[in-house]
Amino acid sequence: MIPDKVPKEDVFHGSLDLKKEAHISSFEKYKDLYLKSIESPDEFWGGIAKDFFWKTKHTGQFLDYNFDVTKGEVFVKCMEGASTNICYNLLDYNIRERNLGNNVAFYWEGNEPGDDLSVTYRELLHRVCQFANVLKSQGVKKGDRVSIYMPMVVELVVAMLACTRIGAVHSIVFAGFSAESLCERIMDSKCSLLLTADGFYRGDKLIQLKLLADEALQKCKDMGFPVKKCIMLKHLSKEAEDAALGCQSPPAKRSCPDLQEKQWVKKSRPVPQVPWNPEVDLCWHTLLCDASDECEPEWCESEHPLFILYTSGSTGKPKGVLHTLSGYMLYTATTFKMVFDYQPDDVYWCTADIGWITGHSYITYGPLANGATSVLFEGLPTYPDVSRMWEIVDKYHVTKFYTAPTAIRLLMKYGSEPVQKYKRESLKVLGTVGEPINPEAWLWYYNVVGEKKCPIVDTFWQTETGGHVLTPLPAATPLKPGSATFPFFGVVPAVLNESGEELEGPCEGYLVFKQPWPGVMRTVYGNHQRFETTYFKKFPGYYVTGDGCRRDKDGYYWITGRIDDMLNVSGHLLSTAEVESALVEHEAVAEAAVVGRPHPVKGESLYCFVTLAEGVTYNHTLEAQLKKQVREKIGAIATPDYIQNAPGLPKTRSGKIMRRVLRKIACNERDLGDISTLADSSVVEQLFQNRCCSAV
Ligand code: WT7
């Protein structure tokens, strides 16, 4: 399965000598350990589990599972009988056993250059305990769900860990999502409490988060699901604005000794409007000042739910992916350590937002489990200018850097000069995640950013997989630009054809996994049947990723992209059905079909075909309204790039929309392949004639 020999030519390594200190220093070592991880998982993972604290030890097998729907319910159980607390492992245990109390956990870098602070492991523990007590004081108990809608601030990490300390389940909603998306997620996971902030800046743009949170809570209430409390962090507003905020925090109490005030760079910028409803709203700082900084962790069994994170589903309704305690902890810790070859003097920076799985696994859990020092960045790669990333790399001497292909392609447009303004001497390993990286972007990242010194780890994984599943190891794997290379320890991939047969040697087909690894999702929250249908039904016995994949003659895996009705826009998955339903909710739209069209920076852009209701005429005002509608329903990432008036859509005789044909029309490709099943072929010509030529 793993080749004996890997090619020596036409592969990349990076010129730095990482082998001396590396955890996995050669391909042979990777291969040996990989085989051990598959043949004796108990021994392999058992060895890793020794580095963690367990209140009670596990009994029986390390992993117990059924992946075959035809044999009964699909399940995965890891380390039954064991109990632990992830927050205790990440903070208390690292402070006590590894003496990391004074080490920096996060260098927080705000949107505005110069607005920064750092927090040590000990400070983080104090804040987490305080906030855990706040949660308790609001009645949050083990197993309760807490919704978090916050910007990239240290308090977001505090909130996550405070939940886990008391065994509550966090459900983070990316702060770029709309009020409607937030409401849908709050209701689906039945959260009793919402944590949010007044607002934040992304570049020059003010996001009024509290207004959106209020709107979401109003919608929840209207739909019969009132959320009892909303705790708001004052991120942008300062003391002087307290009165205006209606937030009754006596100024004296604001200066808790443990609460470092952010060095808010004074700019004459508007502060967010914060309406205040005393029956629901609570002030984060006020509550914190009354809370003790000691809080006993709640010991939870291995399969206790850790968090829910929503990801797009092909039916349009997002799925609440549920991850559980022990397996996720071990898996994110191990992948972080091996894939970035984490060393104690590293400064690591992942540019993702914590609102996505990348941030959960590789900003919060994986790095903290290893006692790492990370950069936590609130801003954008292009603000105040396109050198910002490299300025930050130099400022903190970042050694391991992890970003998305879309960011690389965006910066590539500006050439090498903005990169070369900064030294980047500290860099050792570069990583990418989110979508296939085109070789051109890979080579630019390698040559210009890494100056041929740094290996690139192209990590393939999903919200569902919890952590990396196909990935190079930086000192062991010869790299091919655009390939996620080989499986991580414990992961057994296969490539299937349409009839579900496993293909051997070089091939192309469906990427599936044959057995679980500790970090794989356990269910779709509240809908186990959907979990089974989505991932296990098509090919019984396998976890189906939904991605296509090619394996080359050297055994390298190349992800070819989604093979379901999903789109990947800037590394974020969107379902076409979700966008379509937002469009048809507009009274002028009778029917909508959305396809992806390749985009040089975003990977894919949204190309929407709309059939209007009788008597409605298409014009720019309507087009603008439709875009606004989708943005408001889902969020800015789903804003359509193109909308085309489509008096008719290409359908089969049975009435199914032929998206394959629409994709060709969107790209102006006349070679349509077999269209014999098309009911009315004149529709196609009409659509070609009315194509949108440029983004509107
Ligand atoms: C989908 C999962 C994993 C965190 C971010 C996205 C695509 C992800 C790669 C990669 C090719 C990739 C896949 C996958 N994808 N990483 N390195 N190479 N494709 O998480 O939103 O759950 O999306 O992103 O299509 O299925 P997600």
Q: How far apart are CA 450 and CA 18, in angstroms?
A: 14
State whether the beta carbon of 545 lies less than 6 angstroms from ligand 1. Answer: yes
Which residue is closest in CA terms to ligand 1's atom 3? 462
How sure is the predictor about 259, in pLDDT bands with cuts at 50, 70 and 90? Answer: very low
| Contact in structure between 496 and 540 (CB atoms under 8 Å) | no
State whether the beta carbon of 436 lies less than 6 angstroms from ligand 1. Answer: yes
3-class SS at 642? strand
Please tell me the distance between residue 662's alpha carbon and the centre of ligand 1 in angstroms. 24
State whether the beta carbon of 485 lies less than 6 angstroms from ligand 1. Answer: no
How sure is the predictor about 258, in pLDDT bands with cuts at 50, 70 and 90? Answer: very low
State whether the beta carbon of 198 lies less than 6 angstroms from ligand 1. Answer: no
Average pLDDT in the chain: 92
pLDDT value of residue 203: 95
pLDDT value of residue 292: 96
**Backbone angles phi and psi of 262, in degrees to 5:** -70, 145
Residue ranges and CATH numbers for the domains of the chain are 30-236+274-527+534-549 (3.40.50.12780), 570-690 (3.30.300.30)
Q: Tokens in use for 679? A: 């009911």
How sure is the predictor about 563, in pLDDT bands with cuts at 50, 70 and 90? Answer: confident
How sure is the predictor about 268, in pLDDT bands with cuts at 50, 70 and 90? Answer: low
Q: How far apart are CA 18 and CA 617, in angstroms?
A: 63
State whether the beta carbon of 242 lies less than 6 angstroms from ligand 1. Answer: no
Closest by CA position to 132, among listed 90, 99, 161, 102: 161
Which residue is closest in CA terms to ligand 1's atom 12? 435
Write down the pTM of the prediction: 0.91
How sure is the predictor about 694, in pLDDT bands with cuts at 50, 70 and 90? Answer: low
| Contact in structure between 338 and 24 (CB atoms under 8 Å) | yes
State whether the beta carbon of 433 lies less than 6 angstroms from ligand 1. Answer: yes
Label the pairing between strands 429-433 and 493-496.
unpaired
Q: For the purposes of burial, counting CB atoms within 10 Å of the CB of 640, is it exposed (0-12), middle (13-18) or buried (19 or more)? A: buried
Atom of ligand 1 nearest to the CA of 437: 18
State whether the beta carbon of 604 lies less than 6 angstroms from ligand 1. Answer: no
Each residue's pLDDT tens digit, 445-473: 999 999 999 999 999 999 999 999 999 99
Please tell me the distance between residue 79's alpha carbon and the centre of ligand 1 in angstroms. 27
Which residue is closest in CA terms to ligand 1's atom 5? 434
pLDDT value of residue 270: 76
Please tell me the distance between residue 559's alpha carbon and the centre of ligand 1 in angstroms. 9
State whether the beta carbon of 546 lies less than 6 angstroms from ligand 1. Answer: yes
559, 565, 567: residue to mutate for ligand 1 pocket, most atoms within 8 A of CB: 559
Each residue's pLDDT tens digit, 514-529: 999 999 999 999 999 9
How sure is the predictor about 267, in pLDDT bands with cuts at 50, 70 and 90? Answer: low
Q: Looking at the predicted structure, is the pLDDT value of residue 312 above 90?
A: no
Please tell me the distance between residue 551's alpha carbon and the centre of ligand 1 in angstroms. 17
pLDDT value of residue 419: 98
Q: Tokens in use for 512? A: 């599936």
pLDDT value of residue 244: 45
Each residue's pLDDT tens digit, 222-245: 999 999 999 999 998 664 345 444
State whether the beta carbon of 568 lies less than 6 angstroms from ligand 1. Answer: yes
CA distances from 246 to 56, 198, 215, 544, 549 (A): 47, 12, 18, 51, 55
Which residue is closest in CA terms to ligand 1's atom 13? 435
Which residue is closest in CA terms to ligand 1's atom 6? 434
Atom of ligand 1 nearest to the CA of 561: 25
Q: Tokens in use for 315? A: 């039916």
Please tell me the distance between residue 557's alpha carbon and the centre of ligand 1 in angstroms. 14
308, 357, 462, 570: residue to mutate for ligand 1 pocket, most atoms within 8 A of CB: 462
Q: For the purposes of burial, counting CB atoms within 10 Å of the CB of 369, is it exposed (0-12), middle (13-18) or buried (19 or more)? A: buried
Q: How far apart are CA 646 and CA 591, in angstroms?
A: 9
Identify the weakest region by mean pLDDT among 139-153, 154-168, 381-395, 643-657: 643-657
pLDDT value of residue 240: 39
| Contact in structure between 406 and 434 (CB atoms under 8 Å) | yes
Q: How far apart are CA 230 and CA 221, in angstroms?
A: 13
Instruction: Please state the rounded mean pLDDT for residues 381-400.
Output: 97
The better pLDDT of the pair 180, 245 is held by: 180
How sure is the predictor about 60, in pLDDT bands with cuts at 50, 70 and 90? Answer: confident
pLDDT value of residue 226: 94
State whether the beta carbon of 519 lies less than 6 angstroms from ligand 1. Answer: no
Atom of ligand 1 nearest to the CA of 312: 21
Please tell me the distance between residue 166's alpha carbon and the centre of ligand 1 in angstroms. 31
How sure is the predictor about 313, in pLDDT bands with cuts at 50, 70 and 90? Answer: confident
Tokens 């929407």 identify what position? 608
Atom of ligand 1 nearest to the CA of 458: 17
State whether the beta carbon of 664 lies less than 6 angstroms from ligand 1. Answer: no
Q: How far apart are CA 590 and CA 43, in angstroms?
A: 59
Closest by CA position to 212, among listed 196, 193, 228, 223: 196
State whether the beta carbon of 311 lies less than 6 angstroms from ligand 1. Answer: yes
| % of the chain exceeding 90 in pLDDT | 84
Please tell me the distance between residue 483's alpha carbon and the centre of ligand 1 in angstroms. 13
Which bin fits 337, alpha (ψ -120 to 50), beta or left (φ > 0)? alpha
pLDDT value of residue 81: 96
Q: Looking at the predicted structure, is the pLDDT value of residue 254 above 80?
A: no
Atom of ligand 1 nearest to the CA of 463: 22
